């Protein structure tokens, strides 16, 4: 049977499917893209570093030749070995939970998702290793069952070899479906290529998802679970071209990052803005920054309330003002403290102790604080700590920070935070926009009768 014998997915009704079961392929069906190289490259880079990514890139042409001249299974096995061999299973699982969902959810096919989300029971069959796709499919798409290629393990590490029955394509997909469902026949089967026919014929209805590169992906607000926190160093999905460019750029980007960090750490703060600009770092200032208050007239320093994008936010604030502004932090690496051009003070996470310390610092001068408590990459702030509202009724200036990175993320949750700033400055032309907002009016402070939670909100 030819794949064209099946109707296209847009012909599949999604109304009244509340009791139905759907079985779908992943690449090219639930996802718009038909190639999983980018997701394998993410695991290779995040778990194995730049050398593992280089190994995968060099292996990819060999896998391509095997794919076309030997078998699809042989090509996939080579890519799996190059990606997973020797990696710790716990690292792979962590990346599957915290890194891949951001990229997978940006590639969700709208027609396939319309049908998939309308059914009660949802199953995914994929040639990808199950360990790398299961977290996204179950947590974000509501899949009940994920059947994928199983990789071998030894003492907590992946061997890179696949277990029987091998790569889940063609007949192996159909056999896995039979084993999982027994005599039960799923109502809907979704596929996109000839090797999906065996499992699609086991379903009551089969629909083909034709390749349409221009189709727009499902927006994040349509997912069952909101994507708020995500990790990983790479900004863009590493296609083969971007993976090569990343490998070629790092030997240039790392020395450049060291030079940028040295300029920010060693030069007077009044000169940092111009030095960073000359080295390709753009700092844009918007709004009206408050001028420094003479110590003889000061009752309390200005409390700058910053949204939190990277650990560099207080430094860019100081750069925008042209003077060093001390900052309080919850957690920062010892290396970052040593090379920081501004004073950093660690919070103890004890409310009374921290409040007392911050009030003393404000009596000495201006202070920067990021009340979200952690960085967020999405275009919205997290809830602010109510503690900030109790610190001062004098000058409270909100500052919106927006960072632009084209290649590397300047924050991490699972990696070593000590090199966060190196990754930020390794971007070819990183940028930060510092927007000074209107001072908090007196009627919105605790002094006017507002609760600390109201002021924080």
pLDDT at 159 (0 to 100)? 96
228 close to 376: Cβ distance less than 8 angstroms:
yes
Residue-wise pLDDT tens digits, 260-281:
999 999 999 999 999 999 999 9
The first and second tokens of residue 381, run together, are 């702030």
382 close to 411: Cβ distance less than 8 angstroms:
no
Residues of the chain above pLDDT 70, percent: 96
Those residues of the chain that have pLDDT short of 50 are none
Return left, alpha or beta for 153; rule: phi > 0 is left, psi -120 to 50 is alpha, else beta: beta
pLDDT at 375 (0 to 100)? 84
Q: Which of 44, 65, 71 is nearest to 127 (CA)?
A: 71
pTM of the model: 0.90
Kindly state the greatest CA–CA separation across the chain. Answer: 87
H/E element, 13: none
pLDDT at 50 (0 to 100)? 95
446 close to 394: Cβ distance less than 8 angstroms:
no
pLDDT at 392 (0 to 100)? 64
pLDDT at 53 (0 to 100)? 97
Q: Determine the Cα angle at 161 with ends 156 and 165, to 5°.
A: 110
Helix, strand and coil percent figures for the chain, each rounded to 5: 45, 15, 40
Q: Which of 24, 10, 12, 11 is nearest to 196 (CA)?
A: 24
203 close to 218: Cβ distance less than 8 angstroms:
no
Q: What's the rounded Cα separation, in Å, for the pair 32 and 418?
A: 37
Q: What's the rounded Cα separation, in Å, for the pair 123 and 385?
A: 41
Q: Domains of the chain, with CATH numbers?
A: 17-215 (3.40.50.1000), 251-456 (no CATH)
330 close to 350: Cβ distance less than 8 angstroms:
no
pLDDT at 297 (0 to 100)? 55
pLDDT at 295 (0 to 100)? 58
Q: Which of 324, 433, 430, 452 is nearest to 385 (CA)?
A: 452
Paired strand residues for 431:
282, 404
Provide the residue count of the chain.
Answer: 457
H/E element, 429: none
187 close to 21: Cβ distance less than 8 angstroms:
yes
pLDDT at 379 (0 to 100)? 83
The first and second tokens of residue 107, run together, are 């590639």
């Amino acid at each position: 049977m030819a794949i064209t014998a099946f109707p296209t997915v847009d012909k599949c009704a999604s109304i009244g499917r509340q009791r139905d079961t759907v079985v779908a392929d992943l690449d090219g069906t639930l996802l718009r893209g038909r190639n999983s190289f980018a997701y394998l490259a993410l695991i290779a880079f995040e778990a194995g570093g730049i050398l593992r990514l280089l190994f995968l890139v060099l292996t990819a042409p060999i896998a391509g030749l095997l794919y076309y001249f030997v078998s699809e299974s042989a090509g996939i096995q080579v890519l799996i070995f190059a990606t997973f061999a020797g990696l710790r299973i716990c690292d792979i699982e962590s990346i599957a939970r915290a890194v891949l969902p951001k990229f997978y959810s940006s590639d969700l096919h709208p027609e396939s998702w319309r049908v998939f989300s309308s059914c009660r029971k949802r199953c995914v069959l994929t040639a990808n290793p199950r360990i790398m796709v299961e977290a996204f499919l179950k947590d974000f798409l509501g899949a009940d069952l994920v059947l994928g290629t199983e990789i071998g393990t030894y003492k907590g590490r992946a061997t890179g070899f696949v277990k029987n029955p091998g790569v889940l394509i063609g007949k192996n997909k159909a056999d896995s479906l039979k084993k999982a469902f027994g005599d039960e026949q799923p109502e809907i089967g979704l596929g996109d290529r000839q090797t999906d026919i065996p499992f699609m014929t086991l379903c009551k209805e089969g629909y083909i998802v034709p390749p349409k590169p221009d189709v727009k992906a499902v927006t994040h607000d349509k997912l069952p679970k909101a994507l708020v926190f995500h990790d990983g160093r790479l900004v863009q999905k590493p296609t083969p071209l971007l993976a090569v460019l990343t490998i070629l750029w790092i030997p240039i980007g790392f020395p450049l990052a060291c030079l940028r960090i040295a300029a920010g750490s060693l030069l007077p703060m009044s000169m940092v803005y111009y030095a960073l600009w000359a080295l390709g770092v753009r700092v844009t200032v918007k709004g009206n920054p408050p001028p420094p208050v003479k110590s003889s007239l000061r009752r309390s320093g200005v409390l700058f309330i910053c949204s939190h994008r990277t650990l560099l936010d207080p430094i860019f604030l100081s750069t925008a003002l042209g003077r060093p502004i001390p900052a309080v932090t919850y957690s920062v690496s010892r290396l970052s403290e040593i090379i920081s051009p501004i004073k950093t003070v660690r919070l103890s996470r004890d409310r009374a102790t921290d409040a007392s310390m911050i009030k003393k610092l404000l009596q000495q001068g201006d202070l920067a604080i990021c009340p979200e408590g952690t960085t967020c990459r999405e275009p919205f702030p997290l809830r602010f700590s109510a503690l900030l509202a109790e610190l001062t009724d004098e000058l409270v200036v909100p500052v919106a920070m927006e960072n632009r990175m084209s290649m590397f993320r300047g924050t991490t949750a699972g990696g070593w935070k000590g090199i966060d700033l190196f990754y930020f400055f390794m971007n070819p032309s990183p940028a930060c926009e510092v927007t000074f907002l209107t001072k908090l009016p007196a009627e919105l402070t605790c002094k006017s009768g507002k609760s600390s939670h109201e002021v924080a909100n």
